[in-house]
Structure 1
Amino acid sequence: MAMTYLRRMTAAMMLSLGFLLISGIAHAADVEQGRRVVQSAVDEGISTFVGKTHPLPERTRLLDNLLRRYVDPPMLSASILGRYWGKITPAEQNAFSELFVRYLVSSYVSILGRAEPGTTVKVAQAMDLGTRVRVLSSASLPSQPGEPIPVEWEVATTAEGKPAIMDLTAQGVSLIRAMKDDFASVLRSSGGKIEPLMEALQRKIEANDKVNAAQAG
């Protein structure tokens, strides 16, 4: 039961595009801009995937494009790697950033292919956190009528002035925190070397691709 609920919660969060997580540079927060970018991400995600039957290659392309519109991959990667980001070369940073986007796409493209028709996400108020904006919302799944899932977003402004979704928490679960902990564990065990983590991500991508292809076939 817990696993089924977790999968439903994850699907709702992904439909909210809440897995798009970026580390923020300390700029003044713009509350209305933060709310608008969350609303835009939600609307585009719902219209693109809910109730649609895109073939796997097309769904993969759409998700990749959508991620890149709302995420700066290097900033996302810097957030995930934390203090280790500054210890790797620019070439390694670029390579990791691209690999991590592929990992996200391969991890969630099948979930989006099973999005329940009628799924909705209601974006509510936003509040100023200083260098970030918190945006409240709730996701409703047809399979859980009357049980909306509360989702909190955090948005920051990049150095280029672009609003970027930094984190989301659904019922106390932060996607970015779990990823950071997992990746930090691999980096610690490898003495801070990025190669073992990238190799692990590549293996996971290949495994995801096989599962996704089997489910699509």
Structure 2
Amino acid sequence: MTSTPRRLLLVAAAAVATGLPLRGGMAQQVDIGRATAFIQQTGEQLVGAINAAGQSVAQRRERVAEILRRAVDVEGVGRFILGRWWRQATPEQQQEYLKLFEQVLIHNLSSRFGEYQGVRFTLGRTQARTEEDALVNTVVERPGNPAFGLDWRVAEIGGQPKVVDVIAEGTSLRLTTRSEYSSVITRNGGQVAALLQAMRNQIQQMAARAGG
């Protein structure tokens, strides 16, 4: 099993090899207090949207999606996840990939909170991971489900705090997804088109479940 320090070095080496910064954008030194306030505000907005009275499930989903689009560095995370395959994709494939990735990412993050009213969001401690990012610990409680930890990795991107990774119960969303996407492309002879088709299928399935 790969040790944590070595795993981090491998991730860093992969990022350098692909010409991508670790956080996908122009990251500056992170301000711990600013990162904490950002996640607190984002969490309050998410809970407010989910718990809003007099709105349909579809309306609450859309409000949650809007909040997450503002909070997350979608393009930076998407490019990091595609890794070395980004350079092999055509400009048209890159554009489609980012559109599909946003839909998948927002759906996956939204599902962490659930659709039913009564969600609670508790802020924990914040710790600096590097000079450029911080990890903000939170706990999410949903009716009828056990509470779970959701940690938000925050960096300053273009002068604004942005979420660059979400860690659920110790599992990094961007590292897990990076491995999954790379496996799909590798199994299909290095064709990025195969990943795009898999993502289209996934989005169709998500839409069918949401409609049902």
SS state at 1:115 partner: coil
Question: Could you say which residue in structure 1 is the equivalent of 2:19?
Answer: none
TM-score by length of 2: 0.76
- 1:168, distance to aligned residue in structure 2 (A): 2.3
Q: CA RMSD in A?
A: 2.6
- Out of 182, 185, 193, the residue aligned to residue 183 of structure 2 is 185
Structure 1 residue 190 displacement after superposition: 2.5
> Aligned residues, how many?
189
Contact 2:77 2:174 in 1 (8 A): no
**Secondary structure of the residue that 2:29 maps to in structure 1?**
coil
How far the C-alpha of 1:172 sits from its partner, in A, is: 1.8
- Provide the C-alpha distance between the structure 2 equivalents of 1:108 and 1:68, rounded to a whole number of angstroms: 10
Query: In structure 2, what is the equivalent of residue 143 of structure 1?
Result: 144
1:156 paired residue number: 155
1:86 counterpart residue number: 87
Cα 1:53/1:38, change in 2 over 3 Å: same
**Residues in 1 aligned to 2:32 and 2:111: alpha-carbon distance in whole angstroms:** 33
**CA 1:207–1:141 in structure 2 vs 1: closer, same or farther (change >3 Å)?**
closer
| Letter aligned with residue 210 of structure 1 | A
SS at 2:164 equivalent: strand
- Residue ranges of structure 2 left out of the alignment (5+ in a row): 1-22
Match of 1:38, as an amino acid?
I
Aligned twin of 1:18: none
SS of the residue aligned with 2:30? coil
Distance change >3 Å, CA 161–CA 80, structure 1 → 2 = same
Residue 50 of structure 2 is matched in structure 1 by 49
Q: Work out the percentage of aligned pairs sharing the same amino acid.
A: 22
Q: Is the 2:69–2:106 contact (alpha carbons within 8 Å) kept by the matching residues of 1?
A: no
Please say if residues 110 and 212 of structure 1, whose CA atoms lie closer than 8 Å, have aligned partners that are also in contact: no
Shift of 1:91: 3.1
Greater RCO (CA < 8 Å, at least 6 residues apart): 1
The question of whether the paired residues in 2 share the 8 Å contact of 1:53 and 1:113 is answered with no
| Residues in 2 aligned to 1:55 and 1:107: alpha-carbon distance in whole angstroms | 20
- The structural deviation recorded for 1:138 is 1.9
Aligned residue for 1:7? none
TM-score by length of 1: 0.75
**Which deviates more from structure 2 when the two are superposed, residues 57-66 or residues 68-77?**
57-66
Q: Is the 8 A contact 1:152 1:169 kept in 2?
A: yes
Q: Which amino acid aligns with 1:73?
A: V
For residues 47 and 28 of structure 1, what CA distance do their matches in structure 2 show? 30
Distance 2:76 2:25 in 1: 7
Distance 1:66 1:173 in 2: 23
